[in-house]
Structure 1
Amino acid sequence: MYAFAQRADTTVVDEPLYAHYLSTSPARLYHPGADEVIASQENDWRKVVESVLFGSYDTPIVFFKSMTHHLVNLEWDFLPDLTNVLLTRDPYDMLPSYAQNVQQPTLRDTGYADHLRLLDYLDQRGQSPPVLVSERVLQHPSQILARLCHELGIPFDLAMLQWEPGPRPEDGVWAKYWYDSVHRSTGFQPYAPKTSPFPDHLKPLLAECQPYYARLVERALDTAPLA
């Protein structure tokens, strides 16, 4: 999201369906700042689709950062009319970080199964969305972003590689709970594997997530030269 926010031709919107998700699922009971999020956004997903996802903007490109697990209790028929990109992360790296805010996450919370559901849904409707693996983005940001832009049919902009530290106006009200590390960053930080022991209580969930992640990696963009 922060990379696309650096583009002069792009408007960025942060998680427009978060309030819908919280207001229609048990996640409201354990997500930090849930009531604040619900008060900050439109809760009706149909109104979000109409006025936000298909609203009017001053730029030719609009980037919506969303979470696959937010696509609950709604119809998906609007999704093929958007250009979709999937970003995934190794659950071995993701789960300990996520559990700092959600102490007992479930497979539903992680979104891995929903990533594949979404991928299959879009494939069946003639759209083959690019899949990004966060580790590769961190290791080769310019190459992966250049390939992504090529897939999307837009020019790559070197400005996407750097940003000023601190909060951004696009941030949702939940940024204070989730965005601490990105607020300290000025670009894509080199990938560093976790060295601390993996928490025992998350190992069953890790085992659930890994097969889904493995299938996503099979579709992920790599650093091969552009044709």
Structure 2
Amino acid sequence: METRSRINLWSSPRNISTALMYAFAQRADTTVVDEPLYAHYLGHQPTEADHPGRETILKTQNNDGNAVVRQMVEGEYTTPVVVFKQMTHHLIELPQDFLFQMVNVLLIRDPREILASFHQVIDKVTARDIGLPQQGELFDRLAVAGTLAAVVDARRLLEDPPGVLEQLCEQIGIGYDPAMLSWEKGPKAYDGSWAPYWYAGVHESVGFRPYQPRAVELSPTMERVAKECLPVYQRLLEHAI
């Protein structure tokens, strides 16, 4: 089947990217792919963050980022829409021309909320481990090229799932499907091998959970990382649906 639309969802970790991937997976016209560049990233990782399940990821996923990109752009899929859930920090040591052949979306979240969750699993965390600086750089590059379809803020999506999803679908050029609002509880066949370490919460969900403000307490080190990332987040938030 001819694939009409190939969409990258460029997210930070500990966002609601997996829930959004599950939402797209409910569409009959869509195939989803979970973090196809993860193994490539681990093979070129510039930071000290210790990712759980690293060896399994490297053994079970294609480590050749260039080959992965070719598959994303040129590979055959069984549906007309393909959505690639991506981590922005995975986009390293690769020619980035492919970005201009695809539809791109940025999924953002308050960095203090990201760090409160991410630091529970990863000890050594820098700003580039959570991808906020890279999201700012990617926004500038894609906006100039005209291949940035939308910026989605996690809180706004949780506060109004049908409204934000409808706008997102319109901006990426596909029709909105209410089936995106719910899914079955439990692991999914399209989950990456890292799911046992990261997806426990979303596996308990059957849809987007309402946003719940929480008091966030960070260590002084994590507060410094948050302070570094906050201006990027605030700038991108101005463009969010």
Same fold (TM over 0.5): yes
Deviation at 1:49, TM superposition (A): 1.0
Task: Kindly indicate which of the two structures has a greater share of residues assigned to strand.
Answer: 2
Q: Are residues 1:140 and 2:153 paired?
A: no
TM-superposed deviation, 1:86: 0.6
Q: How does 1:38-117 map onto structure 2 within 5 Å?
A: 38-117=58-137
Inter-partner Cα distance in structure 2 for 1:50 and 1:203 = 39
- SS of equivalent to 2:82: strand
Residue of structure 2 equivalent to 1:3: 23
Partner SS, residue 107 of structure 2: strand
Please report the RMSD computed on the Cα atoms of aligned residues, expressed in angstroms: 1.3
CA contact (8 A) 1:18 1:37 kept: yes
Alpha-carbon distance in 2 for matches of 1:128, 1:173: 29
Q: Partner amino acid for 1:171?
A: D
- For residues 152-179 of structure 1, give each alpha carbon's deviation from its aligned partner in whole angstroms, at most 9, with x where no partner exists: 1211101100001110011000001111
Matched, 1:35 2:55: yes
Quote how far apart the aligned CAs of 1:118 are. 0.7
The correspondence for 2:198, drawn from 164, 178, 192, is 178
* CA–CA separation in structure 2 for the residues paired with 1:31 and 1:121: 28
Aligned to 1:128: 148
Preserved contact between residue 119 and residue 129 of structure 1 (Cα < 8 Å): no
Choose 28-37 or 126-135, whichever is displaced more.
28-37
Identity rate, percent: 48
Moved more, 17-26 or 140-149: 17-26
CA contact 1:18–1:70 (8 Å) conserved in 2:
yes
Q: Are residues 1:167 and 2:191 paired?
A: no
- Alignment deviations for residues 99-120 of structure 1 (CA, whole Å, 9 cap, x no partner): 1111121011011110011111
Q: Is the alpha carbon distance of 1:53 and 1:165 closer, same or farther for their aligned partners in structure 2, counting shifts above 3 Å?
A: farther
Residue 181 (structure 2) pairs with residue 157 (structure 1): no
Per the TM alignment, residue 28 of structure 1 is displaced from its structure 2 partner at its CA by: 7.5
Q: SS of the counterpart of 1:30?
A: coil
Q: Using the alignment, how far apart are the partners of 2:87 and 2:74 within structure 1?
A: 18
Equivalent AA in structure 1 for residue 114 of structure 2: M
The alignment partner of 1:31 has SS state of: coil
Structure 2, unmatched stretches of 5+, are 1-20
Could you tell me which residue of structure 2 aligns to residue 224 of structure 1?
none
Structure 1 window deviating more from structure 2 (25-34 vs 141-150): it is 25-34
Q: Distance in 1 between matches of 2:201 and 2:131?
A: 21
Paired letter, 2:37: L
Check whether the contact 1:96–1:199 (CA below 8 A) recurs between aligned residues: no
Is contact 1:7-1:157 (8 Å) kept?
yes
Pair 1:21 & 2:27 matched: no
- Verify the 8 A CA contact 2:23 2:181 in the aligned structure 1: yes
The counterpart of 2:139, out of the listed 119, 142, 154, is 119
Partner amino acid, structure 2, of 1:5: A
Unaligned runs of 5+ in 1: 222-227
